[in-house]
């Protein structure tokens, strides 16, 4: 397949980059907060929104893999260890449940230290298997999609369907969209928003959205 042609495998590799950074930034900061036994007052809202966005993106991502991507490629790339990957998604869900409880408690100001520890425990659970998990997905599945010679029309259909599924299963968009874009390098960001850059920027800077996501900025890339 031509390098410049749309390839859903490359999109998924890009999303892995988003979450790899999201996980590292969340863990680095939570470790610092734990030393002080509390969230930093100034960035409290931004950090909680950042981790909340990470959780939503991770959940939507592996839901799309379980329900759309894996069934679609099962026969085409039959040697991928799909069962192992699906069972690892369940471990991610355990971690995500802890993160959700931690965030809910921190948002309502309950049990600061206990909730921070829960947040860290959830992130650690994910981190322990994350890197080998995406290594398998990238090398055995996503990097091989280009050699399957899926025709252009079908690839575009897959991409549109995938985008719809992801948008339906993640949210709120005013956190998820900037989270995805600004955990990517400027080069990857430009590829992801190809053709809709102006629209995206306009949306992000709209009165409706701006105040909601900008508290995350200390944790995002420029």
Nearest Cα to Cα of residue 85 among 43, 34, 122, 140:
140
Among residues 8, 13, 48, 62, which is the contact residue for Fe ion, using CB under 5 A?
62
Distance CA 3, CA 25 (A): 31
Least distance (Å) between residue 91 CB and Fe ion? 11
Least distance (Å) between residue 34 CB and Fe ion? 28
Contacting Fe ion within 22-61 (CB under 5 A)? none
Contact by Cβ (8 Å): 61, 19: yes
Binding characters for Fe ion, 65-84, by CB under 5 A (x = yes): x-------------------
Q: In the complex with Fe ion, which residue's Cβ is closer, 45 or 127?
A: 127
Q: In the complex with Fe ion, which residue's Cβ is closer, 11 or 137?
A: 137
Distance CA 22, CA 51 (A): 8
Binding characters for Fe ion, 125-164, by CB under 5 A (x = yes): ------------x---------------------------
Q: In the complex with Fe ion, which residue's Cβ is closer, 135 or 147?
A: 135
Distance CA 54, CA 132 (A): 19
Contact by Cβ (8 Å): 172, 203: no
Distance CA 18, CA 91 (A): 19
The encoded tokens of residue 101 equal 């409880």
Q: In the complex with Fe ion, which residue's Cβ is closer, 57 or 220?
A: 57
Q: In the complex with Fe ion, which residue's Cβ is closer, 92 or 213?
A: 92
Stretch of 63-71, 173-181, 184-192, 194-202 lying at the interface with Fe ion (CB under 5 A): 63-71
Contact by Cβ (8 Å): 219, 49: no
Distance CA 178, CA 164 (A): 17
Least distance (Å) between residue 142 CB and Fe ion? 8
State the residues that interact with Fe ion by CB under 5 A.
Answer: 62, 65, 137
């Amino acid at each position: 397949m031509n390098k410049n042609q749309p390839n859903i495998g490359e999109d998924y590799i890009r999303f892995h980059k988003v979450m790899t950074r999201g996980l590292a930034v969340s863990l680095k900061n939570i470790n610092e907060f734990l030393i002080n036994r509390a969230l930093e007052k100034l960035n409290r809202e931004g950090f909680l929104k950042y981790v909340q966005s990470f959780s939503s993106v991770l959940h939507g991502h592996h839901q799309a893999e379980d329900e759309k991507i894996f069934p679609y490629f099962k026969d085409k790339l039959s040697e991928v260890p799909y069962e192992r990957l699906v069972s690892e998604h369940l471990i991610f869900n355990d971690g995500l449940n802890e993160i959700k409880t931690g965030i809910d408690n921190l948002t309502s100001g309950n049990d600061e230290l206990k909730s921070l520890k829960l947040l860290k425990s959830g992130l650690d659970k994910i981190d322990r298997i994350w890197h080998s998990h995406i290594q398998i997905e990238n090398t055995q599945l996503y990097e091989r999609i280009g050699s399957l010679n899926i025709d252009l029309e079908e690839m575009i259909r897959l991409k549109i369907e995938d985008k719809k599924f992801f948008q339906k299963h993640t949210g709120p968009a005013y956190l998820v969209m900037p989270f995805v874009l600004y955990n990517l390098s400027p080069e990857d960001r430009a590829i992801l928003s190809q053709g809709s850059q102006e629209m995206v920027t306009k949306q992000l800077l709209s009165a409706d959205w701006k105040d909601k996501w900008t508290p995350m900025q200390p944790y995002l890339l420029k």
